[in-house]
Amino acid sequence: MKHTVEVMIPEAEIKARIAELGRQITERYKDSGSEMVLVGLLRGSFMFMADLCREVQVPHEVDFMTASSYGSGMSTTRDVKILKDLDEDIRGKDVLIVEDIIDSGNTLSKVREILGLREPKSLAICTLLDKPSRREVDVRLSSLAFRFRTNL
């Protein structure tokens, strides 16, 4: 069976937008005076986070979490499980959660809540793709590359 893939966003546009996000994040944190940690939500954010890290021009650490709100299928549930936690202490640090796609917002909302309890200096969210038409909980984004208005 032959599969076709429709290009929704050209590669050059994605690269340019990630570079712009890197500049914005650099500007936001350059005078913070605190350590910065980029927290990638595995596995989806890995490639986006690698590209973003190259563009962020302030010293930063990288750490990862794995969280899931999916059951046995692809339907989302409100039950979020942390499958891999951070290796580093984020207390007093500027933390930027990096996600690939936000749709229901359930997983990200829970991760934000968990990380917020660890007393970071600041806690923000950056995503490559936002699908607000699928949102079930409010998620405040500080950095966004692309937003899909339709239900994909």
Q: Which residue is listed with tokens 């290796």?
A: 87
Residue of 94, 100, 103, 130 with catalytic role: 103
85 included as an active-site residue = no
Amino acid at 75: S
DSSP character for 105?
Answer: -
According to DSSP, the β-strands at 36-42 and 61-70 are parallel
Number of CB atoms found within 10 A of residue 31's CB = 7
Euclidean distance between CA atoms 90 and 65, whole angstroms: 13
List residues with catalytic annotation. Answer: 103
